Amino acid sequence: MSLKFFSTPGKFYRGNLHTHSTQSDGALEPGEVCRRYQAEGYDFISLTDHFVGLFDYPITDASEFHNDKFTTIMGAELHSGAMENGHLWHLLALGLPSDFPPPSAPNFLPVKGSETAASIAQRARDAGAFVVIVHPHWSGLSEADAFSITAAHAVEIYNHGCVVNNDRGEGLMTLEYLLNKGRHLNLIASDDSHFNSPDYFGGWVMVKAQENTAQALLAALKAGEYYSSTGPEIHNIRINETSIEVDCTPVVSILVQGHGSPMTYLRGETMTTGKISLERLSNSPWIRITIIDRAGKRAWSNPIWVEGVN
């Protein structure tokens, strides 16, 4: 059985889902951000400026920079309520309508009695947005914090800006806390680019869609029809009751992780396909795949819910 979206009509589009401009605390105007991403070979981005009163609650509309080869998705980085550590929540919402009502978030400090993060996440999802828990390591997110968000579609497991600027850019532990409690969530890699450091062109999603439009891309994101990468490409994933096969660009490692500590792997030189037994993961309700190339760049599948593969 191939994962359906690898064999359905359409193509993969490369995009960054976490981007800032001068509409909030980014260094570049929205048009210049779009120009640079398109020049780098991206097919789409979402400008997700900080949705706080300090910047007049922006939902940046970059549609004027859309063209026949490049798409923009309206979105924002939402903030409301306090995490267990007392700091302000950060959540992404892609596909957010321009009239989305703001919370009480005048700046980057939490306001006592303001709307909870769980509430604003649910409002965003109800408004049609693709919702993401972002940079959990950088935020100091607790397991209880993460578990409180019931409306998220995904967890940001690689944030290039946080890797570059403070070495706190990963979120796989947070994702797996939630998977192990039965939450069906996907993952994304992104930049969180501000262009005031080398925080750009480092992590992205590859979304399978029949056309490069905001509507088609958002539908594919919500359906989990994508993978995430910092370099390698995944071409196909095939699963049966006893094994998994992965086709990809040349890599030196193919790893399969599951519930708790069980995992298995295949190592080699410039592998473009690999078949791995799932015997060690036979009791795991979910698995996910990581591939690593010779330069240490990674790509990640979304979690695959197999409910026990044997």
Name the token pair of 181. 């409690």
User: Model confidence at 241, in pLDDT bands (50, 70, 90)?
Assistant: confident
- Give the mean model confidence (pLDDT) for residues 242-253: 97
- CATH number of the domain where residue 40 is located: 3.20.20.140
**Residue 1: is its pLDDT beyond 60?**
no
Beta strands in the chain (DSSP E): 11-19, 44-47, 50-51, 71-78, 91-94, 130-133, 154-159, 186-190, 204-209, 226-229, 234-239, 243-258, 263-277, 286-292, 298-300, 304-305
The pLDDT score that the predictor gives to residue 91 is 98
Residue 59 domain boundaries: 9-229
The pLDDT score that the predictor gives to residue 310 is 36
Asked whether the beta carbons of 51 and 78 are under 8 A apart, the reply is yes
Same domain, 28 and 157: yes
**Residue 23: is its pLDDT beyond 70?**
yes
**Residue 309: is its pLDDT beyond 80?**
no
The pLDDT score that the predictor gives to residue 3 is 84
Number of domains in the chain: 2
3 inside domain: no
Q: Over the stretch 39-88, which tens digit does the pLDDT of each residue have?
A: 999 999 999 999 999 999 999 999 999 999 999 999 999 999 999 999 99
Same domain, 224 and 240: no
- Give the mean model confidence (pLDDT) for residues 135-148: 97
The pLDDT score that the predictor gives to residue 201 is 98
- CATH number of the domain where residue 262 is located: 2.60.40.10
Asked whether the beta carbons of 220 and 205 are under 8 A apart, the reply is no
Can you tell me the distance from the alpha carbon of 249 to that of 228, in angstroms, rounded to the nearest whole number? 14
Same domain, 29 and 62: yes
Residues linked to residue 244 through DSSP beta bridges, in sequence order: 239, 276
Can you tell me the distance from the alpha carbon of 128 to that of 224, in angstroms, rounded to the nearest whole number? 15
Q: Looking at 185, 201, 229, which one is the last position of a domain? A: 229
Mean pLDDT, the chain, integer: 96
94 inside domain: yes
How many alpha carbons lie under 13 Å from residue 138 in its C-beta half-sphere?
Answer: 23
Q: Among residues 226, 156, 219, which one has the least CA distance to residue 192?
A: 156
Same domain, 24 and 75: yes
Asked whether the beta carbons of 92 and 50 are under 8 A apart, the reply is no
